[in-house]
Structure 1
C-alpha cells in the first residue's frame, strides 16, 4: 500500500540532491539523506507518528492528504518517514537554530470573583476583533472598558501568572472544587509583543545571563508598583476562550486547533516550515536532544527558518524547564519527496 502511494504521489523523476538558493535574497534549501541526521536511528519514530496523526487529518494539500492516508495504514514508523519524506535544511540569514521552550501553565482560580480571586481572564470583546489593533494593555487594565459585559471566563489569584498565561497562550485554571477550566488563545488586541526580559536588560535591572521566566516573576512580585509598571511595557494583550471539551489526558490546542504533544510538538515560523510537517531537531546545550518533532504551533516570537519553541508539557516542572531553555543547534524539515526536490532549480534554465 505504501509503495503504491509513493508511486502515485511522486510522478516525477528524482534528481541528485544539491544545496540551492531560492533567490539571492531568499531562503537556502539543502536536501539531505536520513543518514546525515545525528541520532536518527535511535529515536522513537512511533511517538512522532502518533503526534503527526493528531493533525495530519486537517491538512488540505493533496500531497499531505495522501501521506496522512498512508500514515493511518499502520506503517512501520521509521520506514514511513524514510520512504515518503526527505530532510531539508532551510536557512535564511543566520545558519544555526535557536531553541526555546513553552508550556501549559496551571493557575488557581474561581468562576466568580471574591477573596484572593481578583484578576479576570477575559474573552475577546467583539470590537477588539473587528478593530485589528485595539486598546493597549495599559488602556485595557486602567479603564473600565471590560467591566459589566460578562466577558470574564474566571478570576485567578495571581496577576503575574496571568501575564505569563497570556504569553503561553493556553493553560488550565484549577477551581476550589478540584474542577478544571481549560482556556486557549482567543485573539489579541493587535499590538506587537514586547519582551519584559529584554526591557529588564535595557534598564540594567538584570544581566542577560540571569533572565528567565522565574527570575522575572520573582522580581515583579517583590517590586510592587515598579513590577506592575514593568508588565505594562508589553502593550500586547491576549484574550481567551474556554476549551474544556479537550480531554484532560490530551495536550492543549495548538495553532492547528488540535491537541499538541509534550516533547513532540514545536512552534515554528510558518513562513518557512509548513504547519503539520515533521521536523528533525538537533538541540545542543543543556539536555541535548535529537528528536523528530511535529510543527503544530506558532508564536509571535518565533520568527525565522531555524527557530523553534519546544512544547514541554503542563504544570510547574514543565514551566521551569521551558523557562530557562535557550539553546543552539540545527533543524531539518521533513518535506514530501516531490516537494523537497521541487525546491531544486530547473537544470535546463
Structure 2
C-alpha cells in the first residue's frame, strides 16, 4: 500500500487537454503473451443481451449510462480494457469478477469493441460531492555504496526494535537521523531519500551500474506532515509553484541545515529493504502490478480493491499541470494520506517523466464507480 508499499502521496507533500485523455506516462511492463497473433481483424464484438431486470435505471444526478460521462467518447477504451484485463483479478465483488473472466476470455479488442464492452456491462454511479485527485509514481534515484560529500543520507533497514508503531510510535525523523548510520543499505542525496520515503518504493542505480529495488519495510508510526504549506508561508515557493518537482529542486539547492530543517518538519520516517530490479512495475495493496496511468490509491473505508472507476478531474491549482484527467482506472492501492469517499491518487508510472507529471496533479475530482449492470443500485 502507499504509506505501506508505495508511501504517502505527493499530494500530501503539497496537499488533458480539455476532453481528451492526456498521456498516461510510461507503459506498464507486461509479461509476454503466448497466444498466437494473426494479421486478421478480430471478430466484431457483440454485446450480450441485457436481461430486463438489469435494464439501467432512469439517469439521475448520480446514476447514468457510461455515454453520459464527460470525456467518455475521447477515452482510449482499448488501453483501458487491456489494463482492466491485467488487473481485474483483484476484484472482490462476484459480479465484477465475472466480468473480469469474460474480458479475459474474449481477449484483446479494438477501441470501438472495447467501448461497447464497457457500455454493455457497466453503469456509472457518482460518489457524493467533489474531492481531490493527486498522483504518485515509482521513482528512480542514483545511490552509492559508500558515503561521499554529495551522497550523505543513509538508507536504513527496519530497526530490530521497531515494534507495533500503531500502539507505540518509534523515534521521530530528527531523532532517527541523529543515530549512527550503522550498516546502511545504500547512501543517497538527502532530498532524494526524503522523496523515496514519501513514495514508499523505487529503484536505486549505483555508480557501478547495478540496479536494485528499494522496498518499503515499515515506518516509525509518526503522522505524515506535508512541507509545502510551510514553504509557501515562509515565502520559499510561490503558491502556484509548490509542485513536488519545485520542492525537490529547492531542497537540492539548499542542501544542508536549511533543507534539513524543512524535511524535519515531517516526523514520519520510512525504512527499506533491497531486492533485485526485475523491471516490473511496483505492486500495490491489491497485490497486483500497477498499470501506469490506470491505477488508483483509494480509501479502503469507502472503496474495495479491484473496483473500476471513471475519473473526471479538472481545475488544477499548480502551474504546468494538464487541464483535465478523464479516464478509466482501477482501485489497486491505498495510502496514508488518501482519506474520504471522493479522494484518489493516480499512479503515473515509473521514472523521471512520470514523477514530473505526478508532482503537478492537484485537481478537483468527480469520481464515478462503474457498477455491473446486474447489481442492485
Instruction: Report TM bin, short chain.
Output: 0.7 to 0.9
Q: Say whether 1:266 aligns with 2:296.
A: yes
Unmatched tracts of structure 2, length 5 or more: 1-45, 316-321
Deviation string 1:307-328 (CA, Å, 9 cap, x unpaired) is 2222222222222211122222
Query: For structure 1, which segment, 231-240 or 206-215, has the greater mean C-alpha deviation from structure 2 after superposition?
Result: 206-215
Count of aligned residue pairs for this structure pair? 317
Q: Say whether 1:134 aligns with 2:190.
A: no
Return closer, same or farther for 1:40/1:13 CA change in 2, 3 Å cut-off.
closer
Deviation string 1:94-125 (CA, Å, 9 cap, x unpaired) is x2232222112111113x32435442223323
Kept in 1: contact 2:201–2:215 (CA 8 A): yes
Return closer, same or farther for 1:233/1:337 CA change in 2, 3 Å cut-off.
same
Distance of 1:37 and 1:13 partners within structure 2: 20
Q: Looking at both structures, which has the greater relative contact order when contacts are Cα pairs under 8 Å and sequence separation is at least 6?
A: 2
Give the alignment's TM-score, normalised by structure 1.
0.80
Q: Which among 85, 106, 109 is matched to residue 143 of structure 2?
A: 109
Q: Say whether 1:328 aligns with 2:364.
A: yes
Kept in 1: contact 2:54–2:373 (CA 8 A): no
- Counting only pairs closer than 5 Å after superposition, residues 57-96 of structure 1 correspond to structure 2 as 57-74=89-106, 76=109, 77-91=114-128, 95-96=129-130
Counterpart of 1:23? Answer: none
Distance of 2:363 and 2:266 partners within structure 1: 24
Return closer, same or farther for 1:225/1:271 CA change in 2, 3 Å cut-off.
same
Counterpart of 2:284? Answer: 254
Distance of 1:293 and 1:65 partners within structure 2: 16
SS at match of 1:73: helix
Structure 1 residue 165: Cα displacement = 0.9
Query: CA RMSD, aligned part only?
Result: 2.8
Distance of 2:275 and 2:287 partners within structure 1: 10
Deviation string 1:144-191 (CA, Å, 9 cap, x unpaired) is 3xx54x5x43322x1101101111112111122322112233222111
Structure 1 residue 2: Cα displacement = 8.1
Distance of 2:367 and 2:356 partners within structure 1: 23
Greater helix share, 1 or 2? 1
